Amino acid sequence: MNKIYNDTFDEKYCFGNNYGEKIFWNISNMRKYITENNVIIKSYPINELYEQNPSPINIEYAIELKHNKLGIIIELIIGNKNKLKLVDGNHQLYKAKIIGNKTFDCYYFSYEEQIKFVVDIDNKPIPIEMYNKFIEKTI
């Protein structure tokens, strides 16, 4: 799972499996939505968030970060369980952890909100039925 950029320079978070099935959250569109709407901000315990959201990061880049951009958390629903996934802010989370912060603030996108930003590699919306089946198979 990582970030990619397509030809339109949209930042995306990739979520998939080893068989080539992948979906993406368009982070650029989510950030734009945040600036235009009142998105809930929640604080999460760093240690729990860090353990639940393993992600490869560039440690040097994370340490050199000068801005305190809030992360983006989405709510996934798998069966009758909810899971939180950090889709933007892994480098900030790492830096916050190593400097000793106890909590990390994130914009929170409920299931209903975040599915508006799920796309394929070509930025085309993914049908909700396909999304739900994909999440259940992947998690």
pLDDT bracket for residue 53 (50, 70, 90):
confident
Half-sphere exposure for 73 (CA within 13 Å, toward CB): 23
Question: At residue 134, does pLDDT exceed 80?
Answer: no
Rounded CA separation 32/122 (Å):
19
- Tokens 């939180």 locate to 84
Question: At residue 4, does pLDDT exceed 60?
Answer: no
Question: At residue 9, does pLDDT exceed 60?
Answer: no
Task: Read off the pTM.
Answer: 0.83
- Strand pairing of 103-109 and 71-78? parallel
Residue with more model confidence, 41 or 84: 41
Question: Over pLDDT 90: what percentage of the chain?
Answer: 40
Residue-number span of the structural domain to which 30 is assigned: 3-138
Question: At residue 88, does pLDDT exceed 50?
Answer: yes
Contacts of 65 (CB under 8 A, 6+ apart): 91, 92, 95
- The radius of gyration of the chain from alpha carbons, rounded to an integer in Å, stands at 15
| Across 105-122, average pLDDT | 91
H or E stretch covering 48: helix 46-52
CA-closest candidate to residue 77, choices 46, 41, 101, 113: 113
Structural domains counted in the chain: 1
| Across 74-88, average pLDDT | 83
CA-closest candidate to residue 131, choices 12, 22, 4, 3: 22
